[in-house]
Amino acid sequence: MTQLRRVRLFGHDVRVSVRPGTGSGPPLVLCNGIGANLELLQPFVAEVDPRIEVVLFDVPGVGGSPMPRVPYNFALLAWFVGALLDRLGYDRFDTLGISWGGGLAQQLAFQFPRRCRRLVLVSTGTGMLMVPARFSVLSKMLTPRRYRDPSYAKAIAAELYGGRMRRQPGEVRHVANEQERLGSGTGYLLQLLAGFGWSSLPALPLIRQPTLILAGNDDPLIPLVNARIMRALLPNASLHVFNDGHLGLMTSADELGRLVSGFLTSPGDQGASSSS
């Protein structure tokens, strides 16, 4: 059963969820997308192999975690997450990042090369130095309105997320739920600022962990070419292209849950070997 708790860390309260695993491997730490609380990844968590312990958290200023005292960047936030994992008693860990959280996951792998065992990057890129989405798409990411206004979220779902949202716009309930209120607009702005000027592109050759890259073939926010660039620059990475859009981790949770579970439970230090 999932355990929800608050952890006090450096004067900050952090809302954390832990789904215990039955195995002995390291936990999977999930880094969420911008503005998203930990509940939004529950469809994926439900599909992860029960042997794998799963840790989720609300970034300060988002969901159930109060506003931070000072602004942060990815390096500072990665240090904070490392301290959080210390407090929870985890020495080693695997990490998965989706969209904005993919930047944080890359930073964790770079800053903690001995602690971070394996890396999963979903619907994400390399920060400021990447092939961007169209301006009409990016402009809709500047505010958290898509989380707070269900009618607006449904109206822009196809253009913003692609994939299954084009065929079934009702699936937008995964990101717009009246019962899952998120953090303040200020918290959202701080997340935007955390990525300003940041890029993992120069550091990718230094990230040695086995890495699984998952990218949708219809992702308006993160064009597929970015996944191919990361695959070329990461020394030990494989790429799987799935038939969905930016939110495939939720809308194709059954397929991606199996892929991630297989990658994390495979023997040795080898990453997944398939690519497409």
> What pLDDT, on a 0 to 100 scale, did the predictor assign at position 177?
52
> What pLDDT, on a 0 to 100 scale, did the predictor assign at position 208?
97
CB 188 within 8 A of CB 32: no
Cα–Cα distance, 254 to 258 (Å, whole number):
6
> What pLDDT, on a 0 to 100 scale, did the predictor assign at position 142?
83
Domain range summary for the chain, segments of one domain joined by +: 3-134+185-265
Q: DSSP states of 154-190 as a string? A: HHHHHHHH-THHHH-GGGGGGT--TTS----HHHHHH
The mean pLDDT values, 10 residues at a time, for the chain of 276 residues are 93 96 97 94 97 97 93 97 98 98 98 98 98 94 80 88 84 54 78 95 98 98 98 98 96 97 85 47
Provide the 10 A C-beta neighbour count for residue 6: 13
Residue of 99, 123, 238, 252 with catalytic role: 99
> What pLDDT, on a 0 to 100 scale, did the predictor assign at position 141?
87
Q: Residue 93 forms beta bridges with which residues?
A: 116
Structural tokens at position 61? 């200023």
Q: Phi/psi zone of residue 225: left (φ > 0), alpha (ψ -120 to 50 degrees), beta?
A: alpha
CB 270 within 8 A of CB 210: yes
99 has catalytic annotation = yes
What pTM, to 2 d.p., does this model score?
0.94
Select from 3.40.50.1820, 3.20.20.80, 3.30.1330.10, 3.10.20.600 the CATH code of 3-134+185-265. Answer: 3.40.50.1820
> What pLDDT, on a 0 to 100 scale, did the predictor assign at position 271?
45
Rg (alpha carbons) of the chain, rounded to whole number: 17
Provide the 10 A C-beta neighbour count for residue 218: 19
Cα–Cα distance, 251 to 216 (Å, whole number):
11
> What pLDDT, on a 0 to 100 scale, did the predictor assign at position 30?
98
pLDDT of 84-112, one tens digit each? 999 999 999 999 999 999 999 999 999 99
